[in-house]
Structure 1
């Protein structure tokens, strides 16, 4: 899909650009994750030099494991001045369920670096619309600065699913029905034993909320994502592939390994 003699020779990174979206391709997940982590750490340090507190949002998925592990290992970031947000959360999982995205981020990131504030989405709120409003108001208190995101096998960002993602959504957080492909991916990723156990609904930051972050770092490894990346970069900017809108962001970078790049 993305051809380069350097990438095929096993060297890296390969740097490309599609519209406004910068792309970096690395030979493997580990180097991809470390490169993204170093870039995010630099962005955090620069933002913290300008303001007293920095709002960040994080994706919670196995595809982020190498990136998050690398980010926790880097020194020199004043994590107590970070306000951390989720991108999404399942509706209806038991509070102790390890599949909850809040639990994932705790174990893979927050327990290691201790952000000053952690704003969790409550997928068990009695009034989900009220919870969406609460979370949107929290995010609006800060200038949204850095979003660390991924892309689903169907091209979703957070849980903004194909064809129903709204690039002009007036809401910043809402309840969504999950695409069957997203639910199957959770089983393929080893998060749930069967698709019947994957929740059918979730809370998610909408595409305008994601695009409101000043800087976006998108980390996507694995051959199973190659088709989504192809559509994201070669197809039209369209809700059919929600991730395609990242091509319009002024400060977004996509980090791929060779497998996700289709090399």
Structure 2
């Protein structure tokens, strides 16, 4: 694990974009293409702002993402595929984009996603950490054992509260009960994982992640078992860490 603490969310996003672009360029140099996995949410705004400006041959990149609500149309502002199209896919010329769709036949969608994601490893995955320390929609207690690539999960109350607090939904009752999510084991198959986690609201989740051994009650702790995990914080999200020797 490598920990870097940046001044604020904007600097974090700028550095994360550079880190991601370098990893993509390296993969393309080695094998002619790259596979990129993206997360969404308010914590990723700055990273996307800078990532779309980097010098990457995007036509050689295939993009995947982590999750989507079951039954939510893409026209809804909270849709993650809308989020990614608006903030990323519409701004670069991707070779291919694989979007998670929670409408229609969910079992068929999961099979299609599984077929696509398992063709080759992900070169770099941007995986955020939620206020309840979830990764993707793997809320506590997360399933650390399934070998499935994607699955349907039921969202917990704290996860729903985060979606409302960030402004994606007007109330808890309007947040969908379920989502399709990439599983923990599938996330860990990525060659490189970068977690961009700014803002004070994430400080407690970060403290718990760093202070505890891997446990499905704090899902993000499993990232510490990955051989190439980098955690980017800002001063606010790092505010509850006792020692901050990794300040960038």
What's the TM-score, normalizing by structure 2? 0.94
2:104 equivalent among 98, 107, 125: 125
Q: Which residue of 2 aligns with 1:262?
A: 239
Q: Report how far residue 130 of structure 1 moved.
A: 2.4
Q: Structure 1 CA distance, aligned partners of 2:219 and 2:87?
A: 26
Q: Which residue of 1 aligns with 2:246?
A: none
* 1:93 is the counterpart of 2:72: yes
Q: Structure 1 CA distance, aligned partners of 2:41 and 2:104?
A: 22
1:35 equivalent among 15, 24, 27: 15
* 1:209 is the counterpart of 2:189: no
What is the aligned residue count?
240
SS in 1 for 2:91: helix
Q: Which residue of 2 aligns with 1:49?
A: 29
Segments ≥4 residues shifted beyond 6 Å: none
Q: Report how far residue 109 of structure 1 moved.
A: 0.8
Q: Is residue 74–residue 82 contact of structure 2 (8 Å, CA) maintained in 1?
A: no
Q: Structure 2 CA distance, aligned partners of 1:52 and 1:168?
A: 33
Q: Which residue of 1 aligns with 2:243?
A: none
1:183 equivalent among 133, 140, 160: 160
SS in 2 for 1:262: coil
Q: Is residue 88–residue 159 contact of structure 1 (8 Å, CA) maintained in 2?
A: yes
Q: Unaligned 5+ residue runs, structure 1? A: 1-20
Q: Structure 2 CA distance, aligned partners of 1:95 and 1:226?
A: 31
Q: Which residue of 1 aligns with 2:114?
A: 136
What's the TM-score, normalizing by structure 1? 0.89
Q: Is residue 129–residue 175 contact of structure 1 (8 Å, CA) maintained in 2?
A: no
Deviation track 1:24-48 (CA, whole Å, cap 9, x = no partner) reads: 0011111111111111110000000
Q: Report how far residue 156 of structure 1 moved.
A: 0.2
Q: Which residue of 2 aligns with 1:235?
A: 212
Q: Report how far residue 125 of structure 1 moved.
A: 2.4
Q: Structure 2 CA distance, aligned partners of 1:178 and 1:200?
A: 6
Q: Structure 1 CA distance, aligned partners of 2:143 and 2:227?
A: 19
Q: Is residue 34–residue 66 contact of structure 1 (8 Å, CA) maintained in 2?
A: yes
Deviation track 1:107-147 (CA, whole Å, cap 9, x = no partner) reads: 11111112110111110022x22221210110011222110
* Residues 170 and 99 (structure 1), Cα distance of their counterparts in 2 relative to 1, 3 Å cut: same
Q: Is residue 122–residue 191 contact of structure 2 (8 Å, CA) maintained in 1?
A: yes
SS in 2 for 1:147: strand
Q: Which residue of 1 aligns with 2:3?
A: 23
Q: Which residue of 2 aligns with 1:73?
A: 53
Query: CA-atom RMSD, angstroms?
Result: 1.0
SS in 1 for 2:144: coil
* 1:192 is the counterpart of 2:173: no
Deviation track 1:188-238 (CA, whole Å, cap 9, x = no partner) reads: 001111111111100000001100000011000011101100110001210
Q: Structure 1 CA distance, aligned partners of 2:143 and 2:61?
A: 29
SS in 2 for 1:156: coil
